[in-house]
Amino acid sequence: MKKTVTSLADGRELIYYDRADGTVRDAVDRRPLDPVSTASEIRRDPLLGDAVAIASHRQARTYHPPADECPLCPSRDGRLSEIPDDHYDVAVFENRFPSLAGGSGRCEVVCFTSDHDASFADLTEEQAGLVLAAWTDRTAEFAALGQVAQVFCFENRGAEIGVTLGHPHGQIYGYPFVTPRTELMLRSAARHREESGRNLFDDVVALEESDGSRVVLTAEHWIAYVPYAAHWPYEVHLHPRRRVPDLRGLDDDARAQFPQVYLELLRRFDRIFGPGEPPTPYISAWHQAPFDAPGREDFALHLELFTIRRTSGKLKFLAGSESGMSVFINDVPPEAAAQRLREVASK
């Protein structure tokens, strides 16, 4: 992998990740951009104890541009974009409209491919492996930033999810605090360790594998299953078999096998609802341990993949119980979801 670090016209960082070591990246961003001005602020809810990012500047972010004005495509034919070069393998840059900024964290955009009409599932295993390398490298870089407590690599795919740019891309958030979801998992893991002397994540994975009814696929270095109490209609958790706290801990064997396993999961998601259906909207989210939190070594890196589509043409909305009380009601039994995801395996 060849990594090239450069800057955009307004001073934001841009990093190219290339498969070929000899690739040269010397294109210059020629856009007349003003310096980035953000107003991100973190506020604490005194009743719930969680954090809310106030980011009013995001109201002006790019919203569903036509394909020939996509800011994530390479700069070609006289049209200048966020990527100055005319092609790229993987490109990462500081978000122009970040939810978190300055002392309140950091936000980056990860462009998976220069092909505007592709999706992650269309990537080759070599391309997907390069994205994994970029996620890992960014996690390591964020770890060196004093204002970042936790790194979240994720992808939103589909207009139903709220995606405003159709180009295949994801994001990385560097939170200046430990997120509420992660705090809950850390507390559960600590309680389980105290009561049983064992690791909670190891026990959950072992239970799912021994039961088998919710297992979606198994491989030498990875296992994917629908959780027993899945929140979403189709939700899969993907774990490396050797528990590690974050992406930096994956060994070479797990890294080599990840593209094959992950691409298979994404392609199954697009087949859940049958032929002729539009691509399945999904969120793909890496859960990583906070850098300095107590219990870090008991945390297990895993990827959560889920869709808000519950059946053909119908979405799962977060209505009264979910939004008001944080109590999810799932219309699809996890065992049925796992069975369907096994049925649509690649031949």
Is residue 142 domain-shared with residue 235, that is, in the same domain?
Answer: no
169 tagged catalytic: yes
Is residue 145 domain-shared with residue 14, that is, in the same domain?
Answer: yes
Is residue 168 domain-shared with residue 190, that is, in the same domain?
Answer: no
Last residue of a domain, one of 175, 192, 223: 175
Is residue 338 domain-shared with residue 199, that is, in the same domain?
Answer: yes
Select which of 64, 87, 116, 169 is catalytic: 169
Is residue 129 domain-shared with residue 194, that is, in the same domain?
Answer: no
CATH classification of the domain holding 259: 3.30.428.10
Quote the crossing angle between the two packed helices 334-343 and 252-269, to the nearest 10°: 100
Is residue 69 domain-shared with residue 191, that is, in the same domain?
Answer: no
Is residue 165 domain-shared with residue 187, that is, in the same domain?
Answer: no
Integer Cα distance of 278 and 289 in angstroms: 35
- Closest by CA position to 157, among listed 53, 267, 54: 267
Is residue 292 domain-shared with residue 274, that is, in the same domain?
Answer: yes
Is residue 249 domain-shared with residue 223, that is, in the same domain?
Answer: yes
Last residue of a domain, one of 133, 151, 175: 175
Last residue of a domain, one of 175, 197, 229: 175
Phi, psi of 92 (to 5 degrees): -130, 135
- Closest by CA position to 300, among listed 170, 186, 218, 210: 186
**What residue numbers bound the domain in which 128 lies?**
2-175
* pLDDT per residue as tens, the chain (347 positions): 999 999 999 999 999 999 999 999 999 999 999 888 777 889 999 999 999 999 887 766 776 788 789 999 999 989 999 999 999 999 999 999 999 987 789 999 999 999 999 999 999 999 999 999 999 999 999 999 989 999 999 999 999 999 999 999 999 999 999 999 999 999 999 999 999 999 999 999 999 999 999 999 999 999 999 999 999 999 999 999 999 999 999 999 999 999 999 999 999 999 999 999 999 999 999 999 999 999 999 999 999 999 999 999 999 999 999 999 999 999 999 999 999 999 999 98
Is residue 259 domain-shared with residue 185, that is, in the same domain?
Answer: yes
Number of compact structural domains in the chain: 2
Is residue 59 domain-shared with residue 78, that is, in the same domain?
Answer: yes
Residue whose token pair is 């005194």: 46
What pTM was computed for the model? 0.96
